[in-house]
Amino acid sequence: MTSAPSGGLTQGELFDTLCNQRRLGIIRHLRANGGASKLSPLVDYVAATENDKQPGELARAERRRVYISLYQTHLPMLEERGIVEWDRSENVISLQPSSNVEKYLGHGAESKHPWHVGYLLAGVCGIGLLLLQVLSVAPFDGLSLSWTLAVVSAAVVGVVVARYALERPPRAPITP
């Protein structure tokens, strides 16, 4: 197991903490809401995600199960490990800025780029190019199927490379 940097969590403890879907749900909700949330909306988010429902559609029992679990198990563990601060008098849970979960969860809760649009555009252009070729529309009537396949493949690979270049995690500096 890797040792804890400057009194923090070891890598094993951090992964043990992050392997639970409810704890990940807590962190996701806090990140999406500026780093803090009241307990009630947090419970609604985790229960709704777990049950694949909107918060207003949750049964009382579904919400209660999650509430008890968060209150008795998950929030105390996250607080003990320095990932969140829980103000019980105000029922506010805040993500601790000093926790090193960010480097394991990525840059943000969601991608800033609509990558699905790039993939969709590459696919639609590929189908369009193929149709123009099959329907013998000039100047596409003389193209071979392998050329069309190569162009479509290059477009998809281009989107993948762009996504990797823009969203890869920063590399740790190499120290001698």
The string of pLDDT tens digits covering residues 47-95 is: 999 998 999 999 999 999 999 999 999 999 999 998 999 999 999 999 9
CATH number at residue 75: 1.10.10
Q: Which helix (H) or strand (E) holds 36?
A: strand 36-38
Residues 36 and 90 in one domain: yes
Residues 13 and 100 in one domain: yes
| Average pLDDT over all residues of the chain | 83
Range of weakest confidence among 4-8, 50-54, 109-113, 128-132: 4-8
Give dist(CA 161, CA 168) in Å, integer.
Answer: 10
Cβ distance 122 to 152 under 8 Å?
A: yes
Residues 161 and 90 in one domain: no
Does the residue 22 lie in any domain? yes
Q: Write down how long the chain is.
A: 176
Residues 22 and 57 in one domain: yes
Q: Please give the distance of CA 170 from its chain centroid, rounded to a whole number.
A: 17
Residues 19 and 67 in one domain: yes
pLDDT digits (tens, 9 = 90+) for 145-172: 888 888 888 988 988 888 888 777 666 5
Residues 78 and 129 in one domain: no
Residues 62 and 24 in one domain: yes
Q: Please give the distance of CA 12 from its chain centroid, rounded to a whole number.
A: 21
Give dist(CA 67, CA 46) in Å, integer.
Answer: 9
Give dist(CA 30, CA 146) in Å, integer.
Answer: 49
Does the residue 35 lie in any domain? yes
Q: Which of 81, 105, 129 is the last residue of a domain?
A: 105
For residue 107, is it left (φ>0), alpha (ψ between -120 and 50) or beta? alpha
Residues 28 and 63 in one domain: yes
Residues 76 and 120 in one domain: no
Residue range(s) defining the domain that contains residue 132: 115-167
Residue 26, Cβ density class (10 Å: 0-12 exposed, 13-18 middle, ≥19 buried): buried
Total domains in the fold of the chain? 2
Residues 96 and 122 in one domain: no
The stretch 130-134 carries a mean pLDDT of: 85
Does the residue 110 lie in any domain? no
Q: Per the confidence metrics, is the pTM higher than 0.85?
A: no
Does the residue 96 lie in any domain? yes
Residues 21 and 96 in one domain: yes
